[in-house]
Amino acid sequence: MSATPPDVREPVAEDGTATVPRRPSRWWIVAVPVAIVTMLAASGYRVPVFWWESGQHHEIADGEAEEWVAVAEQTSDAHGDLTRRYSVRLAGLGGADPAYVARFDEFRLADGMVARTVRLDFRADPGQSLKNCALTLVDDEGRQYRVGHVHDGIGPKTRVCVPEETPGPGLPIIESEVRGRLPEGEQPRPREWSVSPAIAVPENATFVELRISFEDPDYVTLRLPR
């Protein structure tokens, strides 16, 4: 073993003048964090797709029961971006009914479950699309009871938050449809209305909030009195 390793020794040119010492490459020290960030970004698409857009994660408005809450929700249709505007007030929860009665579902509940109505008042322009809303009651244990979502087993699917006979327009899904246009023969929705859809819940549950959601991840929270 010589005293000095060959590649850290000051190289000396033939004419005796010293040249710049040769050093091991250090560029990878910069490259490593760049590589890690690139890797995380490349696999990060899973976060929006499988988590953010597949559940209720973004509270866009909130308020107490019996107070009006104004909501402006960013959404889009076949023609581009738009804002869904409405005001909502939670008037309260109805009593307990052992039978679940909805448009296509009528049956007796079991296992200590009852049907409770959610009384909601709405105000909105008749041109706003308010079909396809889901209502979720959350209890003090964090359990969620929902009606109106496309994957819900029981209850109405599209007309939870709007009047049965005058639900108003839907969002255009193809470009030939016109925003805000009603089907032939349908009357426009009133500017103010009330709904009271039923949700199947345990009789002894204590509810802390009601969530209103049209599209994940956005939702509106209306807190119930404790």
Partner 1 sequence: MRRTVASAALVIAAMGLGRLINDHVPLGDSADRPFVSTGEVGRPVVLDYAEVTVTAVHVTPTVMGNPASASGGRWLVVDTELLARTRPTLMSGFFLVDAQDHRWIASTRGSECASSASLSTGVRHYASFCFDVPRRALGGARLVATRGAWTSHESEFRRDAVADVDLGIAGSEVDDLWAQQEPLDVRESGPVPPGEARR
**Contact 97/183 with Cβ under 8 angstroms?**
no
x-or-dash string of contact with partner 1, 107-126, rule CB under 8 A:
xxxxx-x-------------
Q: Which of 77, 105, 121, 215 binds partner 1 (CB under 8 A)?
A: 105
**Contact 163/183 with Cβ under 8 angstroms?**
no
If the CB atoms of residues 93 and 124 are measured against partner 1, the closer one turns out to be 93
If the CB atoms of residues 109 and 212 are measured against partner 1, the closer one turns out to be 109
Shortest spacing between CB 186 and partner 1, in angstroms? 28
Which two structure tokens, joined as six digits, stand for 70? 């104004």
Shortest spacing between CB 134 and partner 1, in angstroms? 9
Residue type, 164: E
**N- to C-terminal Cα distance for the chain?**
80
Q: Which of 89, 93, 100, 122 binds partner 1 (CB under 8 A)?
A: 100
Distance of CA 145 to the CA centre of its chain: 16
C-alpha 76/C-alpha 214 separation (Å) is 12
Contact between 212 and partner 1 by CB under 8 A: the answer reads: no
C-alpha 197/C-alpha 115 separation (Å) is 9
If the CB atoms of residues 60 and 113 are measured against partner 1, the closer one turns out to be 113
Distance of CA 38 to the CA centre of its chain: 28
What part of residues 12-71 is at the interface with partner 1 (CB under 8 A)? none
**Contact 142/183 with Cβ under 8 angstroms?**
no
Q: Which stretch binds partner 1 (CB under 8 A): 62-70, 72-80, 139-147, 175-183?
A: 139-147
What residues make contact with partner 1 under the rule CB under 8 A? 5-7, 99-100, 105-111, 113, 141-147, 149, 151-155, 200-202
